[in-house]
Structure 1
Amino acid sequence: MWAPYDSQGRAAWLDLTTRAWRVPAPRPDRSGGEYHLDGRFVTDVPGLHCAIAEALLGPGRYFGREWNAFKDCLCGGFGVAPPFTLTWHDSEVARRALANVVGL
């Protein structure tokens, strides 16, 4: 659902998911397993965070909106914790789009 939005709309989507993850009872963390990231729409930093959350937890879920939060999510409490395998499909899209982004 987030994919058609521009970068500002995707940032707003992340705001919504940041708030929404607290409403339902958190799922127990699981580790292991293989996840698939659809990289076709990773054309900006908010899109990257949306895509990672969707790949690991499902649509509309939260897994960080900036790198410090992302690292916190990897420590558990958000549904998935390492180790796991993430297969990033169409990663070339993000490589081209984010090549000049500083601070990733």
Structure 2
Amino acid sequence: MDIAERAYDYSVRVAELVRYLKAEEKDFPLSDKLLDCAVSAGLSTRTPDRKAAADSVREADYLIEMAAKAGYLTQRQAAHIREDGKALLSILKENG
């Protein structure tokens, strides 16, 4: 799986997370920002500048961590997507 495809999958997972937050009426105030970060991460991998993609993944991870700490998500719910983000960051660093 190439970087762009992996980033796209990550973006889709975050979009599903945002949909879940809205469907459960958890109303995480930064859910739209979280979705923007994930979309930016995916789009940025299609350009030569991998730094922008890595920055977006880090920002999304921060927002997911906030959502879990604030009680919008459980730690377990957040863990899998955060692991995906860390794996994507690792790939971006290797190919940066």
The alignment's TM-score, normalised by the length of structure 1, stands at 0.30
Higher helix share: 2
- Kindly indicate which of the two structures has a greater share of residues assigned to strand: 1
Normalised by the length of structure 2, the TM-score is 0.32
